[in-house]
Structure 1
């Protein structure tokens, strides 16, 4: 579904991603793990069209993404849930969700998708008229995920969805990610909580210093002694 081949990305003079290659197959949950500064978020931003690669290729459903704009990439079927959530303060919960559906012109599809989001996140329906800035951190993360779902993506990119959340919300977020995937949305997940991410992942890649150092099934990486020492506290 998604192929990243020999991708290199610079931040100014700094090479943040150095020849990274990986694949995401339809229906999978794939996770990228690694320390801060490993290049994970840069990869997602480049896939989303927010950054441009210096070299390499990104293809989605056999279509090159490298030169498409961010709105074109959303319309092609890829939505990102950004690190830090970035909900729109001053807008209500439902207005934030409407912003996620900016490309949707079919009212029936919009209403159906909105109901699906409220089914995943009942608390958002309860708070739909509330200013999004007044939600808790966990509720804001749910809103960011719901907003991405409003674009009706085939592939969802999640950047650190558990960051800064209370443990009770972390488990709920990962359960919902699995439910979204089981309903047909492919997931590419970046997550500092490597143990939780690998538990739900079909496959994973370990990034270090802008390069892929290890790859394998989620279960195999969980059992890998090097991964345990570096990322799982074992």
Structure 2
């Protein structure tokens, strides 16, 4: 079943056209990755799915319903949650309080405790540090916190913007293992990632963006074997 349909999407900032007629789909239960150089339009697409940008033209359908005129909080409550680039944890609040912030739209207080336990199962370090100021965590731990916070809204679709950026290799591997575990538990993932090798190694399908257009698409395995992708993104 198609969960997300991006249809002929164009996004402009003044005279600059960042995204030019992009179309792609994300099916339920998949990890789909968008790869491309900085400035290719990847983050603009995620921000538009989240309702933070408005497109110049095109449509975005989530579970068959157009969301381009919905407010960001309505998009979250419909089942989409984004982990932004650069993590953006709330300094001055504890790790636990940050996690709690992810559930602010939820009404089911009974399920809340279960969700906290799920987050702690994925990220045991957050349980250990739950009373610590979020700002004192390492970069990798802050990324885990941002992902845990996003999972608290019980998203059907999780949008991840550059989860490995600035992290030590040991944390990168751990983050990608957790993304796979999140998928196994039934959450669909749309992933933007500079580390094309890691992204394609876990992705069911991928799309390559260049200067605001999709130029190649295929399964993760196909793209890893593609000579153009290898040359441009995989150091081949």
TM-score, normalisation: structure 2: 0.99
2:194 to 177, 192, 204: 192
SS of 2:11 mapped into structure 1: strand
2:83 to 71, 81, 84: 81
Separation in structure 2 between the aligned mates of residue 108 and residue 216 of structure 1, nearest angstrom = 41
Q: Tell me if 1:201 matches 2:196.
A: no
2:149 to 138, 147, 150: 147
Separation in structure 2 between the aligned mates of residue 172 and residue 68 of structure 1, nearest angstrom = 34
1:174 to 176, 179, 188: 176
Q: CA offset at residue 162 of structure 1?
A: 0.2
SS of 1:130 mapped into structure 2: coil
Separation in structure 1 between the aligned mates of residue 107 and residue 93 of structure 2, nearest angstrom = 21
Deviations 1:114-140, CA, capped at 9 Å, x for gaps: 110001000000000100000000000
Q: CA offset at residue 12 of structure 1?
A: 2.0
Greater displacement, 218-227 / 4-13: 4-13
Greater displacement, 130-139 / 100-109: 100-109
SS of 1:173 mapped into structure 2: helix
- 2:37 is aligned to 35
- 2:116 is aligned to 114
Runs of 4+ in 1 over 3 A off after TM superposition: none
SS of 1:7 mapped into structure 2: strand
- 1:233 is aligned to 235
SS of 1:68 mapped into structure 2: coil
TM-score, normalisation: structure 1: 0.99
Separation in structure 2 between the aligned mates of residue 230 and residue 96 of structure 1, nearest angstrom = 38
Separation in structure 2 between the aligned mates of residue 62 and residue 45 of structure 1, nearest angstrom = 19
SS of 2:166 mapped into structure 1: coil
SS of 2:164 mapped into structure 1: coil
Q: CA offset at residue 86 of structure 1?
A: 0.5
SS of 1:103 mapped into structure 2: coil
SS of 1:72 mapped into structure 2: helix
Unaligned runs of 5+ in 2: none
Q: Tell me if 1:56 matches 2:58.
A: yes
Separation in structure 1 between the aligned mates of residue 185 and residue 196 of structure 2, nearest angstrom = 23
Deviations 1:139-188, CA, capped at 9 Å, x for gaps: 00000000000000000000000000000000000000000000000000
Q: CA offset at residue 58 of structure 1?
A: 0.2
Separation in structure 1 between the aligned mates of residue 168 and residue 24 of structure 2, nearest angstrom = 31
- 1:71 is aligned to 73
Separation in structure 2 between the aligned mates of residue 75 and residue 14 of structure 1, nearest angstrom = 32
